[in-house]
Amino acid sequence: MKTCTRLPAFVVAILVALVSAGSSRAAEPAPAAPPANRFAATLAPAEHFEIDGVLVERHGSKGRPLILIPGLATGGWVWQETVRAFSADHAVYVLTLPGFDGRPAAPANAFAASRAAVAKLIEQRRLDKPVIVGHSLGATMAIAVAEDKPAQVGGVVAIDGLPVMPGTEALPPAERSRYAAGMKARLAGQTPAAFAAQQQGYMRTIGVMDMGKADDIAKLTGRSDPASVGQYAADDLELDLRPGLKDIQAPVLVISPYFDADGGQQGLTANAKADYYRALMQGTPKLEVVTVAPARHFAMIDQPQAVNDAIRKYLGAL
């Protein structure tokens, strides 16, 4: 398949450094008495603990375990509707990675360390064939762990996340590393105010369809450490997990969000985007790609019912 010449929304979502901090959509002054943030009041977990700096919050206690990994700069709050939908029938482990959502800064090997922590969670808690559900960066991590532990992982649901950064699949390693270093340096040097403005601009144009939700989410992603966000983004850009896809034993569901307005600008139809994602997942023994529309990158916020229905159908077939 011919390589895309224009990067889809997923690329910008992972490479948040490419969103201009000087966007004309600068953060607006907060009102004197701001309304409550609809995403900030998270559900109380039955248990919470840490594994190598990764915060884990458990909801529910029975059924096939689910591990939910959020994407770049986001915390466990992004999974609230998923937890509500599945915690009655599943033990749901919600993760927050180091450096995100006010957590202490990530280590230099951010992605590799968190990847190992997810595998450690499965081993320490003796989770029986868990399904790893990831969004964006978290989806890439879910794929990575399924490659690392093929006999232990029971399934993968990847929401707008892939084994290699779309649009970069043909880059040689040296060029990939050069881009990664540039992103890391750019984000590490950002002030909190610039990072917050960047997050709002990104959420309004790439993240979700509703502007009110975009602003609420941006206030929460803005709590993340810019340097850690840059480290994860750089680590992700340097990855190419495609050679290991053949080793995944569990079924993999990829959810491809599609929004007509964005697709028209990119010259990309819903079917073409899904086909492109299939091409990047080529070699996966058991693969299904499902389009959720209308939705932007945070499909589980734009279309929570459709995403939950797709996950429920997938779980029912395991």
pLDDT in the model for residue 242: 98
The residue among 44, 84, 87 whose CA lies nearest residue 64 is 87
pLDDT in the model for residue 3: 41
Give the residue with greater pLDDT, 257 vs 28. Answer: 257
pLDDT in the model for residue 247: 98
Q: What is the pLDDT of residues 84-117, one digit of tens each?
A: 999 999 999 999 999 999 999 999 999 999 999 9
C-alpha to C-alpha distance for 226 and 206, rounded to whole angstroms = 18
How far are the Cα atoms of 9, 82, 190, 201, 285 from residue 194, in angstroms, in the given order?
Answer: 22, 31, 6, 11, 43
Q: Give yes or no for residue 9 having a pLDDT over 70.
A: no
61 domain residue, yes or no:
yes
pLDDT in the model for residue 266: 87
25 domain residue, yes or no:
no
295 domain residue, yes or no:
yes
What residues contact 149, with CB distance under 8 A and at least 6 apart? 119, 122
Q: Give yes or no for residue 22 having a pLDDT over 80.
A: no
Q: Domain residues for 249?
A: 9-13+43-195+225-316
CATH number for 172: 3.40.50.1820
H or E element that contains 219: helix 211-221
The region of weakest confidence among 79-83, 233-237, 261-265 is 261-265
Give the residue with greater pLDDT, 297 vs 38. Answer: 297
96 domain residue, yes or no:
yes
| pLDDT > 70 in the chain, percent | 89
pLDDT in the model for residue 4: 42
Can you read off the two tokens belonging to residue 112? 């590799």
Q: Among the ranges 6-20, 22-36, 59-73, 170-184, which has the highest mean pLDDT value?
A: 59-73
Q: How many domains does the chain have?
A: 1
37 domain residue, yes or no:
no
118 domain residue, yes or no:
yes
Side-by-side strand order, sheet with 47-51: 47-51, 54-59, 92-96, 66-69, 131-135, 155-159, 252-257, 287-292
286 domain residue, yes or no:
yes
pLDDT in the model for residue 34: 59
Q: What is the pLDDT of residues 131-169, one digit of tens each?
A: 999 999 999 999 999 999 999 999 999 999 999 999 999
User: Bridge-partner residues for 253, per DSSP?
Assistant: 157, 288
The residue among 119, 95, 74 whose CA lies nearest residue 232 is 74
Q: What is the pLDDT of residues 29-58, one digit of tens each?
A: 544 455 789 898 778 999 999 999 999 999
110 domain residue, yes or no:
yes
pLDDT in the model for residue 36: 82
C-alpha to C-alpha distance for 93 and 55, rounded to whole angstroms = 10
A 10 A CB-CB count for 29 gives 6
The answer to whether the pTM exceeds 0.95 is: no
